[in-house]
Amino acid sequence: MIQITLADLPTSLMEQMEGPVPPVDFISNGCSYSLDQWGGVDLRPACHWHDYAYQQGGCKRDRALADAALYRNLRRCDLGRFMANVYYRRVRLFGVVTFNWKPGKVPLNPWHYLLLFFNRYLQW
């Protein structure tokens, strides 16, 4: 598994990222289940910030804010609108299993429960 820290990321892109800055000792896996680079564009900073927001967790609103920031950060990394939208849509659909939900804040959407079930009991 890939492990990324702030020291591994280009400083020119880190300065442009939106959202809470991950601590120096925070380790992420980059763009989970997606490419860390697309067409020569380094997407790791956007994914690192997004992983930190997901680890902080919260409620549906916090997740939506983290995903919206991911889209904007991907655009700041110079990824085109189409591919940034593909990454955004994928994380909106499947990110429910990796988000750190606060007690009592798991959404009531049946799709989310199905994904949570597969993640917990069937472990792909």
pTM: 0.85
- The predicted pLDDT at position 119 comes to 67
What b/e readout covers 89-123, taking b as 16+ CB neighbours within 10 angstroms? eebeeebbeebebeeeeeeeeeebeebeeeeeeee
What pLDDT score does 122 carry? 61
Element (H, E) at 73: helix 60-76
Q: Any bridge partners for residue 42, and if so which?
A: 37
One-letter amino acid of 25: D
In this prediction, residue 123 has a pLDDT band, given cuts at 50, 70 and 90, of low
